[in-house]
């Protein structure tokens, strides 16, 4: 086997092992959730809410049939902490600018530490009485009770 092929072989196995045994692998199993109200659908999927992450990422899609989506998600989205209180707003939104009928992007939050047993993201749209609620149980493969005090 020539040196180039040896390096490719080694790298492919290292990447595979990292994907298989990495701390964030359980986050990949968290499903997308959606909420439809007043002609607007919001779909959210956790990208990384692992114990090792310093920033949590959520893929967000907003779609509407007839209205302009001018939501400022950095102001209207938040995570609920383990005591049920509103936590810090997102650190940033990386995606489509306000406007239009379809917006996609990623919301990034400072991770909650220690890792809670569940994560709840809420989006309070202007004109809606209650926030949209998206909740996932974190079936973390770890057995360390200090990571999950909630």
Q: Are 28 and 19 in contact (CB under 8 A)?
A: no
**In angstroms, how far is the first alpha carbon of the chain from the final one?**
52
User: Strand, coil or helix: what is 150?
Assistant: coil
Domains of the chain, each with CATH number or no CATH: 26-147 (2.60.40)
Say what the pTM is: 0.74
User: Strand, coil or helix: what is 109?
Assistant: strand
Q: Give the distance between the most distant pair of CA atoms in the chain.
A: 65
Sheet with 118-123, edge to edge strand ranges = 77-80, 118-123, 132-137
R_g over Cα of the chain: 18
Per-residue pLDDT of the chain (150 residues; tens, 9 = 90+): 566 555 555 545 544 444 444 444 444 479 999 999 999 999 999 999 988 999 999 999 999 999 999 999 999 999 998 888 888 789 999 999 999 999 999 999 999 988 888 999 999 999 999 999 999 998 655 554 444 444
């Amino acid at each position: 086997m020539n040196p180039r092929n040896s390096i490719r072989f080694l790298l492919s196995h290292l990447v595979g092992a990292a994907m298989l045994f990495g701390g964030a692998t359980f986050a990949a199993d968290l499903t997308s959730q959606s909420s439809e109200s007043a002609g607007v659908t919001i779909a959210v999927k956790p990208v990384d809410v692992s114990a090792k992450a310093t920033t949590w990422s959520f893929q967000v899609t907003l779609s509407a049939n007839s209205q302009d989506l001018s939501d400022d998600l950095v102001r209207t989205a938040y995570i609920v902490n383990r005591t049920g209180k509103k936590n810090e707003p997102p650190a940033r939104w990386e995606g489509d600018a306000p406007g239009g009928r379809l917006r996609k992007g990623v919301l990034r939050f400072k991770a909650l530490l220690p890792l809670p047993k569940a994560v709840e993201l809420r989006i309070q749209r202007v004109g809606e009485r209650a926030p949209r609620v998206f909740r996932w149980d974190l079936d973390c493969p770890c057995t360390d009770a200090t990571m999950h005090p909630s």
